[in-house]
Structure 1
Amino acid sequence: MTEVISLMDIDDDDDNNNNNNNNNKGKNVVVPGESKATPWVEKYRPQSLADVAAHRDIVDTIDRLTSENRLPHLLLYGPPGTGKTSTILAVARKLYGAQFHNMILELNASDDRGIDVVRQQIQDFASTQSFSFGAKASVKLILLDEADAMTKDAQFALRRVIEKYTRNTRFALICNHVNKIIPALQSRCTRFRFAPLDSFHVTERLKHVIEAEKLDVPETGLAALVRLSNGDMRKALNILQSTHMASQQITEEAVYLCTGNPLPKDIEQISYWLLNESFTESFKRISEMKTRKGLALVDIVREVTMFVFKIKMPSDIRVQLINDMADIEYRLSLACNDRLQLGSLIASFTRARSALVAAAN
């Protein structure tokens, strides 16, 4: 078994003071004079593992492994905005303290994803000796964000680098789609899945930011932020900051207008037309609303799909309708004609309406 190198423990106040200027180079440190220009995603990024509110089971496990000097290679995967990068950066701060920037190599694999990066930049960093402080030494950390964008050749080369430099280097791979990581890399890492955040954790974090920034956000506005985020904390904070720039009061309507999403009342109106009006009338009214409010048809289809779950109807009719809308959304993603797809949407509801009438009789 590979010998475990003791992790560095730097908590000395003098060291922290002497390296204050170096600390300010970190992307998570907010310079007071630049706080207004700082994206809130970075300004309120958790600085320690204790600050990571969600996924406590994963965070506590990684924290325990770090404390016991048994940190393995990590593979963190899941949807965007669920705390993967924040967690591993908090681990790095716990390990290295003031020497954070000397002991970590952070690469975005979507930009640096070729085999040359593995053979040169990563291997050069991994092959150098770790910094030692008296009797204490530490493994270094290489963070590969968006690792699922790496080429297959680069992943195979990385497999060998991980094996060769395990003694003095740990690798943390972060990705959205774990199936794009080759099995040989997956088997060398401890895997943790970060699921979308639940509404409670998104709401609590948003309330913290709202209080810190002294924002005027009614309950309906907060609910809209949580709903549109879909468990993505990064998206929630970006919407909050964007809406604040456009409106003094962050109401539900302001949130939807800022993001370009259809308002719930607009979706209810569109659904009413689809279920009750003729093909020609529905096409005319939806097209007029779509143009007047600048709505994207793909957003309308997505929101109407969610609305269908609230309508009482036989399950077979509901399933067919949802499948039809999924097909429409897929065709829209391929840049198919909006007018044709709107006609297809109305036709699907016309068939569903006929099926409902037949079932009632």
Structure 2
Amino acid sequence: MDVSNDPAAKAMDSDAAARALALAASSTLPWVEKYRPSSLDELVAHEDIVSILTTLIESNKLPHLLFYGPPGTGKTSTILACARKLYGPTFSSMTLELNASDDRGIDVVRDQIKEFAGTKRLFSSGVKLVILDEADAMTSDAQFALRRVIERHTRHTRFCLICNYVGKIIPALQSRCTRFRFAPLRPDQIRSRLAHVIASEKVDATPAGEQAILNLGQGDMRRVLNLLQSTHMAHVKVDEDTVYLTAGAPLVSDVDAAQQWLMTGNIRDVVNLMQNMTVTKGYAIGDMITELTLRIIKLDMPPTVLAHLLEALSDIEHRMAFGGTEQLQLAALVGAFIIARHMMGS
């Protein structure tokens, strides 16, 4: 039987081709996007925020929103899941998503946002949604222009501003939005999603490797998944050492050695040892300071000594951020510990 002209056979072939293309596209996606939650039920944290947003959507009383908090805590995923629940199949036509770090001038507000918000709906019911990611990167003029656009189009459009630093959003915009703070995710919240991705991608990961990813992730789900994917691509096995090597972070054994040198060695030897470690292994002084800070807080030190060390480490990190020479700041790090040891001995 000739199936070359059979419409049903052609439809089946086109469906198979579409599925193959979709599978190929998903296999090349970064895991952050591949495993991004598509519904509110898939979110692993912020149950109170999700509950409030669900109630607002179901009662058709969604206000303007302001999501703020550290990166990788689910702000964008939450509002996209809300949009899918709100609009269903018409999600793409009823939602305008912009990244304000790229499009942050006043022209974007006057043109793209104003045009989208002012366009009348023909076949869809409900309000439109404008998602403005990284809104804290917008200029002040653009934020003041956005305030006027929000006022004018409130009847038909809702706005969701997403930012890391709420203090960079002008008070006039903050007062027009319902604010939600997204805190860093707890390790137990990240662990379940991490285990799901490891199982789905058949990653050979050890428990120590998973814990290292959680430690380096610091509550940032995006960072956790990117680190997992990078380590898996670079190494056959995801264990503690390969995770730290991929991240470029100091190994636990090296931090232990540095702490021992700083607490017991003389200043010249310690400076030479620390310089040799950072040069040969490519460690950043800032990363070493972060790890040492977490260690010394747990030590049994007099309050005045601990206060001196924390202040000294914060000054060194500040100078590093403004272009201080690593060699000089490394010497200052060793000097801070030498002074602390003398304070404890006096």
Q: Could you say whether these structures have the same fold, taking a TM-score greater than 0.5 normalized by the shorter chain as the test?
A: yes
Range class of TM-score, shorter chain:
over 0.9
AA aligned to 1:221 is G
Does residue 295 of structure 1 match 2:283?
yes
Q: Partner of 1:231 in structure 2?
A: 219
Q: Partner of 1:77 in structure 2?
A: 68
The 5 A counterparts of 1:22-61 are: 31-61=22-52
Q: Which whole-Å deviations, capped at 9, do the CAs of 1:241-279 have from their partners, x for residues lacking one?
A: 000001111000000000000011111100110111111
Does residue 265 of structure 1 match 2:253?
yes
AA aligned to 1:187 is S
Q: Partner of 1:115 in structure 2?
A: 106
- Report runs of 4+ in structure 1 exceeding 6 Å deviation: none
- Alignment: residue pair count: 329
Alpha-carbon distance in structure 2 between the residues aligned to 1:131 and 1:69: 19
Does residue 222 of structure 1 match 2:213?
no
Alpha-carbon distance in structure 2 between the residues aligned to 1:163 and 1:268: 57
AA aligned to 1:73 is H
AA aligned to 1:307 is R
Q: Partner of 2:4 in structure 1?
A: none
Moved more, 307-316 or 190-199: 307-316
AA aligned to 2:199 is E
Alpha-carbon distance in structure 2 between the residues aligned to 1:126 and 1:310: 53
Shift of 1:297: 1.1
Alpha-carbon distance in structure 1 between the residues aligned to 2:307 and 2:251: 25
Q: Partner of 1:324 in structure 2?
A: 312
Alpha-carbon distance in structure 2 between the residues aligned to 1:202 and 1:309: 25
Alpha-carbon distance in structure 2 between the residues aligned to 1:33 and 1:110: 30
Alpha-carbon distance in structure 2 between the residues aligned to 1:190 and 1:342: 45
Does residue 132 of structure 1 match 2:120?
no
Which structure is higher in helix share? 2
Q: Partner of 1:86 in structure 2?
A: 77
Q: Which whole-Å deviations, capped at 9, do the CAs of 1:159-180 have from their partners, x for residues lacking one?
A: 1111111111000000000011
Equivalent of 1:186 in 158, 174, 193: 174
Q: Partner of 1:285 in structure 2?
A: 273
Equivalent of 1:63 in 37, 40, 54: 54
Shift of 1:227: 0.4
AA aligned to 1:186 is Q
C-alpha contact (below 8 Å) 1:132/1:138 kept by paired residues = no
Alpha-carbon distance in structure 2 between the residues aligned to 1:347 and 1:215: 44
Q: Partner of 2:338 in structure 1?
A: 350
Alpha-carbon distance in structure 2 between the residues aligned to 1:34 and 1:50: 25
Shift of 1:36: 3.0
Equivalent of 2:158 in 167, 170, 175: 170
Equivalent of 2:86 in 78, 95, 115: 95
AA aligned to 1:103 is M
Q: Partner of 1:13 in structure 2?
A: none
Equivalent of 1:334 in 306, 309, 322: 322
Alpha-carbon distance in structure 2 between the residues aligned to 1:207 and 1:355: 46
TM-score normalised to the size of structure 1? 0.89
User: What is the root-mean-square deviation in Å for CA atoms of aligned residues?
Assistant: 1.4
Q: Partner of 1:201 in structure 2?
A: 189
Does residue 158 of structure 1 match 2:146?
yes
